[in-house]
């Protein structure tokens, strides 16, 4: 069952040598570590892992510089362009703007940000551990805390709860994340 996605994308041509447009990406080992924790932390049957996808994530973050785009053919007029107010997939700073947006949301929800890997977060009071890869949030915790986190996400974003893996019959048993099957 292929998972096709379509996006409205801009194409930005690199005309300078700016290196300040970097956005962090967690190493694959971070996902492996989170999955390993799910099996070894002593939560027992209460441990679950949620997989949340934020819909149109880059459009949720404000544009921080002037970016102008040509309008689509149906709206195009000679000499008229559009100025982005929100980030758009394909612009050089879209991932950085999105990282700043979700980091703000996570800090507002009382998560602590990782030092070595800034896209890993921990909520000490609720014992949640989250890694963010682009628009995908993978979170380890107890069911009631995962539901709390999903509600926090819904307050700010349109989300797709892709799966909640667990041992109960009602729980999902597999999900595809980062082009890998997790069972």
Q: Quick one: pLDDT at residue 14?
A: 65
What's the token pair of residue 40? Answer: 């070894």
Strands (E), 55-174: 68-69, 82-83, 112-113, 120-123, 128-133, 136-142, 159-165
pLDDT value at residue 21:
67
Task: Compute the mean pLDDT over every residue in the chain, rounded to the nearest whole number.
Answer: 87
Residue 79 pLDDT greater than 60, yes or no: yes
DSSP state letters, 63-74: --S--EEPPPTT
Q: Which long-range contacts (CB under 8 A, 24 or more apart) does 68-73 make?
A: 69/10
Tokens of 60: 């949720």
**Which of 29-33, 89-93, 119-123 is predicted with the least confidence, judged by mean pLDDT?**
89-93
How far is the C-alpha of 18 from the C-alpha of 21, rounded, in Å? Answer: 7
């Amino acid at each position: 069952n292929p998972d096709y996605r379509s996006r409205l994308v801009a194409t930005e041509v690199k005309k300078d040598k700016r290196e300040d447009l970097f956005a962090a990406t967690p190493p694959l080992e971070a996902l492996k570590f989170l999955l390993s924790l799910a099996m070894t932390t002593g939560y027992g049957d209460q441990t679950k892992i949620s997989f949340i996808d934020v819909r149109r994530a880059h459009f949720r973050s404000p544009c921080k510089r002037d970016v102008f785009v040509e309008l689509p053919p149906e709206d195009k007029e000679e000499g008229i362009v559009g100025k982005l107010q929100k980030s758009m997939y394909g612009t050089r700073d879209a991932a950085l703007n999105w990282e700043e947006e979700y980091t703000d949301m996570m800090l507002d929800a009382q998560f602590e940000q990782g030092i070595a890997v800034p896209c890993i977060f921990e909520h000490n009071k609720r014992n949640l551990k989250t890694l963010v890869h682009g628009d995908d949030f993978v979170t380890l915790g107890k069911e009631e805390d995962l539901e709390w986190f999903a509600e926090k996400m819904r307050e700010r974003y349109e989300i797709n709860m892709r799966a909640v893996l667990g041992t109960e019959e009602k729980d999902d048993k597999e999900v595809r994340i980062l082009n890998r099957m997790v069972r």
